[in-house]
Amino acid sequence: MRLLGALSGFTAAAIWGGMYVVSGYILNETQAMKSFTLLTLRLVIGIMVLMPIAAARSQLRFTREQIKSLLFVGLVGYGISLSLQFLGTQLSGGANGALITSASPAFIVLFAFLILRETLNLPRVAAILLATIGVVIVVFDPSQVSLGSDKLWGNVALLGAAVTWGLYSVLVKWSGAKGLSTLAITVMVLVGGLPVAIPFSLWEIVTAPIKVDLVIVGGILYLGIISTALAMFLWNKSFELLDASVASLMFFAQPVVGVGLSAWLLRDPLGVNFFIGGAMILLGVLLASKSN
């Protein structure tokens, strides 16, 4: 089960590392739509894919308290956290976004200790530190990353995104402890993100109409089905099967895959930093997986 949990988390983060290529094409190259419009479409498609499966398995039976709880969890993860990530990336740039949001696993460990009472032992803390340093080595680019006052509010938003994603991930595991299936939890938390995403997307559509062609439709379907429905389910599954502090380390696959894929598509050679940082992340994962 531990192996399945690790593979689930790694696959989810790897998918998210690659999704930026598709998102970048839709949002930046073609400017077919704005970010909240794309987020809303992702959430709606994800719900449309997973809800019939959950219904067929009779897994959509919730108490009123469970519904309130899961909608709140979704609001934290897909409403507040992703909104702060979009805002921060817009104000500070993608390089700052990749660097600052890499702090998410540290906040997952903190909230796992505070909410789930997971053991905060030295090997797990060392693993987080080792992997965090590794991801900084992979993504840090002095020519693009800026922590100056001109990027202050964007960086604050990105830090808020890292904190709230850490909280969301732990709350998902807390929800699973109440006897709900991962599939049911995933459907409801996706719904929880809509109250924030929809109003902003309606404003975007009024100010910037959507442009559509077959390639863009294919990209949206990929983001909705693979990057949202599948990846979110796998991420939540990882937290069901593993301690949150161990599952959190799978997040580091995201920037590594993103950097590697970008280098491959742009035909740029990967520098030594990529391999040194990647090795440190791997060591961190191995150290955490062997800790008790």
Max mean pLDDT range (137-141, 142-146, 148-152, 248-252): 248-252
Per-residue pLDDT tens over the stretch 198-222? 999 999 998 888 888 899 999 999 9
Per-residue pLDDT tens over the stretch 249-267? 888 777 777 667 666 665 6
Mean pLDDT score across all residues of the chain? 83
Write down the pLDDT at residue 263: 64
Per-residue pLDDT tens over the stretch 30-44? 888 888 898 999 999
10 Å Cβ neighbour count for 198? Answer: 16
Write down the pLDDT at residue 14: 85
259, part of any domain: no
233, part of any domain: yes
Q: How far apart are CA 121 and CA 29, in angstroms?
A: 46
Q: Is the dihedral of CA 180, 185, 187, 191 positive or negative?
A: positive
283, part of any domain: no
258, part of any domain: no
Q: How far apart are CA 187 and CA 182, in angstroms?
A: 9
6, part of any domain: yes
Q: How far apart are CA 217 and CA 56, in angstroms?
A: 27
* Residues of the domain holding 240: 2-120+146-253
- Is residue 128 within 8 Å of residue 109, measured between CB atoms? yes
Q: How many domains does the chain have?
A: 1
Write down the pLDDT at residue 268: 62
282, part of any domain: no
202, part of any domain: yes
Write down the pLDDT at residue 224: 94
Whole-prediction pTM: 0.84
- Is residue 44 within 8 Å of residue 224, measured between CB atoms? yes
1-15, 83-97, 135-149, 197-211: the lowest-pLDDT one: 135-149
127, part of any domain: no
Write down the pLDDT at residue 142: 61
Q: What is the DSSP code (8-state) at residue 101?
A: G
